Copies of this chain bind each other. A is one copy, B any other.
Amino acid sequence: MSDIKYLTNALVQFRDERDWSQFHNAKDLAIALNIESSELLELFLWKSADDPDQERIKEELADILAFALLIANKYDFDIKKIMIDKIEKNALKYPINKAKGNAKKYTDL
């Protein structure tokens, strides 16, 4: 079993033991993911770019990944496939010769 499948199973079991699937509509899962992303970002607020409390970063990142996996599971997405597809799509939006060393958005390249 892949790691992603193993982790998804653990999350689904945690959810179902608490009978929480009734709350886990996709919109609220997306809200939850957003809230966790802001909690991660808060660890960097008023600080220089790399100045982390790594234990708290681990926890917020784990929460973010958990909601991302639950959303993928809700729609039965294959995470490996959607990520590889997106990397390929981004390779077209950001061709190496134009994007190299350049942080501009593709719409401004």
Contacts and interface: CB of A to CB of B under 8 A. Distances in A.
Interface string A48-67: 11101010011101111110
B68 A61 contact: yes
B25 A91 contact: no
Interface string A78-105: 0110111111011100101001111100
A84 B103 CA distance: 33
- Report the contact-size class of chain A (Cβ under 8 Å from the partner): 35 or more
Contact of A34 (B38, B61, B62, B84): B38
A30 B35 contact: no
Nearest to A104: B46
Nearest to A10: B87
Contacts of A6: 80
B45 A89 contact: no
13 contacts: A2-B2, A11-B87, A18-B100, A18-B102, A27-B47, A27-B48, A30-B40, A31-B31, A33-B40, A34-B34, A46-B103, A52-B75, A62-B82
